[in-house]
Every structure is written in structure tokens, then in C-alpha cells.
Amino acid sequence: MVEPEAAPALHDAIQAGRVVSATGPVSSMGRLDCKEASMIALNGLARDADRFVLLSDDEVEDVMPDLADLGLATTPSGGAGLAAALLGKVDLPSDARILVILSEEA
């Protein structure tokens, strides 16, 4: 699960064991810029998500041209998951296979 550093609502709620509100600035990852998770989302992700990764807007923005060069024209929120993988934000074995869904078209 990837979230902006400016909106770590899920990340922080999982650590706290309850819904919490994030107070960061507006993120360029607009569709991921959620300041408070719903209980339904929190319960499902607490059960199903293996990891929670926080990315800065700068980190995602730096990867966007590389994605475009590969023909993957997406928005910062759409490319956040792939950005996390490309930036090595998740500790994975060298033979890991990653499924990333680009959820938005630029």
C-alpha cells in the first residue's frame, strides 16, 4: 500500500490500531491524498495489505519522466506504486515478481 508522506492516514492508522487524521499539505498524488481512512478501508487493508510505504511528492515526480519514456503515461497517484518499486522502497528478494496497476492515464 502506497501513500503520500503528506497523507499517511492508513499507515498511521494501522500503527495506532484506530482511525487517525493526517494533517499534511496537499499532495501531488491527488487520488491518494486522503487525510482520514474509512473504517471499511482500514479493516480490509489491515487484514490484506502486507506493507505500507510512504513516498514524497518529489520522489514520485522524479520517476514520472522515466515512466513516460517507457510509454507509461500516468499521473503521480497512478504511478505511485511503480515508483515505490523502482525506488527500492520495499525490501523484496531479488527473484520477486511484482504486480503493479497503473490506475490513471495522464
* Grid cell for residue 42: 482500514
Scan for cell 499539505, then name that residue.
Answer: 25
11 domain residue, yes or no: yes
pLDDT of residue 67: 92
pLDDT score recorded for residue 50: 85
What is the distance between the alpha carbons of residues 70 and 84, in angstroms, rounded to a whole number? 16
Output the pLDDT for position 104: 84
pTM of the entire structure?
0.85
Residue 103 lies in a domain: no
Q: What averages of pLDDT result for each successive group of 10 residues across the chain (106 residues)?
A: 95 92 94 92 90 96 94 93 92 87 81
- Domain presence at residue 6: yes
Q: How far apart are CA 40 and CA 87, in angstroms?
A: 30
pLDDT of amino acid 51: 87
CATH of the domain at 31: 3.40.50.1100
Which has the closest alpha carbon to 57: 17, 30, 85, 39?
Answer: 30
Q: Is 94 within a domain?
A: no
Residue 106 domain-assigned? no
pLDDT at residue 90 in the model: 87
The answer to whether residue 93 sits within a structural domain is: no
Task: Output the pLDDT for position 79.
Answer: 93
DSSP, collapsed to helix, strand or coil, labels residue 95 as coil
User: Considering the domain boundaries, does residue 35 fall inside one?
Assistant: yes
- Counted domains in the chain: 1
* Closest-CA residue to 51 (of 3, 4, 99): 3
Give the domain extent around 66: 2-86
- The pLDDT score that the predictor gives to residue 28 is 95
